[in-house]
Homo-oligomer: A and B are copies of this chain.
C-alpha cells in the first residue's frame, strides 16, 4: 500500500462536472489500493473574481484580509470534491490549510511553509479516508490564515509529499507534461519523460510555467520526484527528478521562448560608481523586475546600459527612467516591445563547451540578429526580434535534434 499525493489545479476543478471527472480518477487510485491525499486549487476563475471584489473595496488591499478572502476558494473546492467522493461511495474528508497543520510564516499573500504538523492528516488516512486538502494556504504563528502566493497549491502538494514521505507526488494540470518546445510552435516537439529540478526551474523562469518554481525548489530540497500529468487524459507525464538523464547525457533538454519582453537602453551613462545602483534601485522601487542586463564597452568615460523587462512594465519603466536620464546625465534612451527571448536549457551544458556557439550558429543560419545574450550554468538566452521567434525556436529544436527520442 503506497501513499499518493495528487494535486489538481484550477482548470481541473473549474466546474462540478470537472470535479466529478477528477473524483473518478482519485477513486481509481483508491481502488488500486493506494492511500490518497488530494490537494486542490480554487475553481476556475474564483480567485480572480474574489480579487476583483476586493478591488472594489478601495485602493489599499490589506494583505491579511486578502488572505482571509482568497483562502475561501480552495476551501470550497475541497469541500465539494470530498462531497463528490462520498457520493461515489469513497469515504473522504476535506481539510483547510490550518486543519491540515500547514504552518507558515506571517508574510501574507506570499507566505512560506515553515513545517507541517501532519497528525490530523495521518489520523484521517488511518481512518480510511481520502484526504482532500485546500491548497495555497497555511496558518501563521499568530493564528491567521495565510496564502502562499499564486500557484501555491503546487508548493502545498510537494511539501505534503515530503512531510508524509509519500511514494508519489503527482501534479495534474491542463498540459500533458514538459515538452522540448511549445508544441503550438514546434509540431515535432517531444514530451520529456524526465527533467531535472534545475532544468525545470530554468524553464519556469523562462515562461514555460508547467509547475511553480517555488514548488520545484521544495522538491529539489527534499529530493521528491514529482510527476506532471494532464487531468483530462491518461497519458504518462514528465517526471521532475534529481537525475533526469541517467543513461544518456542529453546536452540540451528543451527550447523555451518568451514574447512578453520589452527592451530598454540608456545612452552615454557617465561611468561613475553608484549610477547602476540608482538606476536599478529605482526600477525595483517601482516593482519592475529586470531580466537581462548589458553594459556596453566604455567610450569616453560613458557607457550604454541596456536591459529587458516584462512587457507589462514598459509604461511604468518609461516614467521611472525618463526622470532619471537627465538626473544621471545620460544623453537619451530608447525602448520597445518588438523583441522576444529564446533560450536553450539543459543540465548537460555544464560539461559540454560549445553549446552557446551552436546556438548562435543556428540563429545566424536563419539570419536572425541577436540583441542581447545571457547565460547561466544550464541555460543560454538570446534576445531577438519578435517576428523571428517562431523561426528561431524551430531552428534550435532542429539544431539540437530535440525531436529524436531520448
Contacts and interface: CB of A to CB of B under 8 A. Distances in A.
A135 to B, nearest CB: 15
A93 interface: yes
Interface centre among A56, A83, A84 (most CB of B within 10 A): A83
B80 A19 contact: no
Identical copies in the complex: 2
B62 A83 contact: yes
A83 B99 contact: no
B58 A69 contact: no
A392 B165 CA distance: 72
A59 B54 CA distance: 34
Contacts of A183: none
Contact of A94 (B68, B86, B88): B68
Interface in A1-47: 16, 19-20
A78 B68 contact: yes
A88 B58 contact: yes
Nearest to A139: B99
A398 interface: no
B84 A80 contact: no
Interface string A125-163: 000000000000000000111000000000000000000
A205 interface: no
A82 B143 CA distance: 17
Interface string A47-91: 000100110111111101110110110011011101110111000
A83 B59 contact: no
Contacts of A281: none
18 contacts: A16-B53, A16-B56, A20-B57, A50-B76, A54-B79, A54-B83, A57-B80, A59-B87, A61-B83, A65-B82, A68-B75, A68-B82, A68-B96, A69-B76, A69-B80, A72-B76, A99-B143, A120-B143
Given A57-B87, A72-B75, 13 more contacts: A19-B57, A58-B88, A60-B87, A61-B83, A66-B79, A68-B82, A68-B94, A68-B96, A69-B79, A69-B80, A71-B75, A96-B145, A99-B144
Closest 7 CB pairs of A and B: A58-B87, A72-B72, A69-B79, A68-B79, A16-B56, A57-B84, A57-B83
